[in-house]
Amino acid sequence: MEAKKRMGRDLTTGSVPKGLIAFATPLFLSNLLQAVYNMVDMIVVGKYVGSVGLSAVSIGGDILNMLTFVAMGFSSAGQIIISQYTGAGRKDKVTKLIGTMFTFLFLCAVTIMVVGMVFHEGIIGLLNTPQEAVPDVKSYVLVCLSGLVFIYGYNMVSAVLRGMGDSKHPFQFIATAAIINLILDLLFVGRWGMGAMGAALATVIGQAVSFTSSIILLYRMREQFGFDFKPSSFRIHKDVFKPMISLGIPMVIQSAAITFSKMFVHAWINSYGVVISAVSGVGNKLGNIVNMFGNAFSTAGGAMNGQSIGAAKYDRVPKVIGTTFAINATVAAIFSAAVFFFPDAVFGVFTDDMAVLEVCREFVPVSLMMFASMSLRSCMMTLINGSGNSKLNLAVAILDGVLARIGLSALFGLAMGYGYMGLWIGGEMASFVPFLIGGTYFLSGNWKKKSKLIAE
């Protein structure tokens, strides 16, 4: 065994709150810009196109999420493995994993792009897309498919950097993409009247610039990573591919199950017409804004817990979980107060359509559940992801992504006859499942066992 040498940013020493906030801040800003990135599409399309455009971007966004779950799952798995390798000082494993992830995710992106091009019309039909929104959804999806490689590539490079403790550069990349997206949205949609297709084109161009920038940075830092970018370096290494697949498949299943279950529920919601579909899209965007806090701290906390577990510093793990909860609970309380007392002002950011705003007021209690689940879910995901326990990710996938979300939505929305309100409530109740699973795992103490680690 080679001598272990610390590389990247050390997240296993110093004050947990300060370290978590310092690492999470660029992640939060990245998520904020990503939320703004997505909100701009909704806002610009909502202002210039109306409820049909909102519905199209909402449904098209659901399909795009479905197409990217493989990138999200394996990139997250790669980040966790890299954080544990970094904590253990295994630079040789990190360099092998970079080449393996590049090649594997590129092949996945191309395959999914081709499959999506062939079957996109069938997918749109399965979602009960309102007929007046179908043309815009088709154009949105086809444009996004053309840029799928850039989205996959950006997620991969960001996973490498974050796993090694660098959250600043991914923020810079997404900042560039967000600015480009805003400018092009106003140009394509506002000035040239390209509708949902223009919003999709702006997104793809922004992602392409972001990916290109990240590759240039990785190339300039090649000596630190030991990755020379030669063609021979892009082969798949079995010794790192196996743990990436072992953890990645459950995480992909988790991401896919949650994505598909949400789409399944949204298909029921879409059957209530274009106004309800538009409200659902606005609600999703509001949820994305709040989740950017949860995702930032769960990602940062996951990296900290991964390095801490890899370095056998188990006493830091409860501190990371507690700090993550305290911060996110504060954020949830602020957003809850804003939506409860000023619903028209909050939802009015997305649309001026009075029919949509009227139904948005019914969405207020659903929003409060959404905010509460974020604060509880994110703190436990730092442990579930940081520990590298593939079985827990699979449990979250099955319970949260399938049984709870679809089952509870069907119970409240269909069986009990509460309609679209019941579908919304059932979907949000499922979001508490990761907290229950993670809390049980934490109390068991099994996360301290070396047999649970994927990076030895």
- Residue 306 domain flag: yes
Domain that holds residue 380: 16-452
- Residue 37 domain flag: yes
- Residue 1 domain flag: no
Q: Is residue 435 exposed (0-12), middle (13-18) or buried (19+ Cβ within 10 Å)?
A: buried
SS3 328: helix
Nearby residues of 209 by Cβ (< 8 Å), 6 or more positions away: 176, 177, 180
Is residue 248 within 8 A of residue 77, CB to CB? The reply is yes
DSSP state for residue 236 in the 8-state scheme:
P
With CA atoms as reference, report the closest residue to 196 among 42, 63, 350, 37: 42
CA atoms of 62 and 309, how far apart (whole Å): 35
What's the pLDDT band for 39 if we cut at 50, 70, 90?
A: low
What's the pLDDT band for 238 if we cut at 50, 70, 90?
A: confident
Q: How many domains does the chain have?
A: 1
The separation between the first and the last C-alpha atoms of the chain, rounded to the nearest angstrom, is: 11
In total, the chain counts a number of residues equal to: 456
What's the pLDDT band for 205 if we cut at 50, 70, 90?
A: very high
Q: How far is it between the farthest Cα atoms of the chain?
A: 67
Which tens digit of pLDDT belongs to each residue from 275-300? 887 888 778 778 877 887 788 888 88
Look at residue 80 in the predicted model and tell me its pLDDT. 81
Give 391-432 as a DSSP string: HHHHHHHHIIIIIIHHHHHIIIIIIS--HHHHHHHHHHHGGG
Most confident of 80-94, 297-311, 374-388: 374-388
- pLDDT above 70 as % of the chain: 93
- Residue 170 domain flag: yes
- Residue 436 domain flag: yes
Which tens digit of pLDDT belongs to each residue from 226-237? 677 888 888 888
Nearby residues of 84 by Cβ (< 8 Å), 6 or more positions away: 306, 307, 309, 310, 388, 453, 454, 455
Helix axes 419-429, 364-387, angle to 10 degrees: 30
- Residue 5 domain flag: no
- The residue behind tokens 């922004």 is 206
Look at residue 11 in the predicted model and tell me its pLDDT. 64
Mean pLDDT of all residues in 262-287: 80
CA atoms of 59 and 124, how far apart (whole Å): 8
Which tens digit of pLDDT belongs to each residue from 72-126? 888 888 888 887 777 667 777 888 888 899 899 999 999 999 998 998 888 888 7
- Residue 330 domain flag: yes
Nearby residues of 44 by Cβ (< 8 Å), 6 or more positions away: 185, 186, 189, 190, 199
Mean pLDDT of all residues in 176-204: 86
Q: Is residue 363 pLDDT above 80, yes or no? A: yes
Is the pTM higher than 0.75? The answer reads no
With CA atoms as reference, report the closest residue to 180 among 145, 208, 150, 144: 208
Look at residue 148 in the predicted model and tell me its pLDDT. 92
- Residue 373 domain flag: yes
What's the pLDDT band for 9 if we cut at 50, 70, 90?
A: low
